[in-house]
């Protein structure tokens, strides 16, 4: 084999090593997305588990506010279903599934805000120890969800950058590494106000 043969062989070996390295980087980045969503998933589950308890405590005091209580439970169920649709494999989620989760989560936040406004009108409910404890847990969970969303969006950005930059875009296209969607708020500016659950 002549010098040209060795050069060609070296170029092929370098190309294969580069392709394997690029593929592994993309797989690693995609797995980071799954992990980051897993952190959101844990906090959302905690949130969805707390809400029925919060509603049950409130129900004792505000029975004639049935519509508000049902709206919270309905929004919680829709958000839980949107979460379940993505659960386990967020990197394989369809384009609209992440947006559906964000929309359902926004609707739940809005319903919780209305519940908290109702609670303000009931001093005996505001004084209930169980409600205060649940509200504190929910506030902590909301903060954790916010941090987990930020971490998720950071790893999605990193993955999308890797999958769309040359020369990795070649490997991304060859092996169907599709761009991922970030979690974005679907709320209006008025709805972007934080839900206050402290009494």
Whether residue 22 is predicted with pLDDT greater than 60 in this model: the reply is yes
Instruction: For 25-59, write each residue's pLDDT tens digit.
Output: 999 999 999 899 989 999 999 999 999 988 888 88
Q: Which CATH class is domain 12-175?
A: mainly alpha
What pLDDT is recorded for position 63?
73
Distances (CA, A) of 108 to 26, 72, 161: 34, 7, 32
Distances (CA, A) of 168 to 39, 145, 156, 162, 171: 28, 32, 16, 6, 5
Q: Regarding predicted confidence, which is higher, 16 or 90?
A: 16
Instruction: For 73-107, write each residue's pLDDT tens digit.
Output: 999 999 999 888 887 677 666 667 888 888 898 89
What pLDDT is recorded for position 18?
92
Instruction: For 115-167, write each residue's pLDDT tens digit.
Output: 888 888 888 877 788 888 888 898 899 899 999 999 999 999 999 999 999 88
What pLDDT is recorded for position 194?
54
Chain-centroid distance of CA 115 in Å reads 23
In degrees and rounded to multiples of 5, residue 178 shows phi and psi of: -85, 150
Whether residue 191 is predicted with pLDDT greater than 50 in this model: the reply is no
Chain-centroid distance of CA 107 in Å reads 14
Give residue limits of the domains in the chain. 12-175
Distances (CA, A) of 51 to 19, 85, 93, 102, 139: 48, 20, 26, 18, 11
What pLDDT is recorded for position 153?
93
């Amino acid at each position: 084999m002549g010098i040209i043969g060795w050069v060609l062989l070296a170029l092929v070996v370098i190309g294969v090593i580069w392709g394997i390295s690029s593929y592994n980087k993309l797989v690693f980045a995609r797995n980071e997305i799954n992990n980051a969503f897993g952190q959101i998933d844990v906090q959302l589950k905690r949130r969805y588990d707390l809400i029925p308890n919060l509603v049950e405590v409130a129900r004792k005091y505000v029975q004639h506010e049935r519509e508000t209580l049902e709206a919270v439970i309905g929004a919680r169920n829709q958000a839980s279903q949107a979460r379940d649709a993505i659960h386990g494999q967020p990197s394989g989620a369809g384009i609209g599934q992440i947006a559906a989760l964000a929309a359902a989560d926004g609707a739940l936040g809005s319903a919780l805000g209305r519940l908290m406004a109702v609670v303000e009108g009931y001093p005996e409910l505001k004084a209930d120890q169980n409600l205060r404890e649940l509200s504190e847990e929910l506030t902590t969970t909301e903060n954790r969800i916010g941090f987990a969303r930020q971490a998720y969006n950071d790893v999605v950005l990193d993955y999308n950058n890797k999958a769309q930059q040359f020369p990795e875009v070649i490997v991304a296209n060859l092996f169907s590494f599709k761009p991922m969607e970030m979690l974005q708020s679907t709320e209006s500016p008025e709805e972007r106000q934080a839900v206050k659950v402290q009494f």
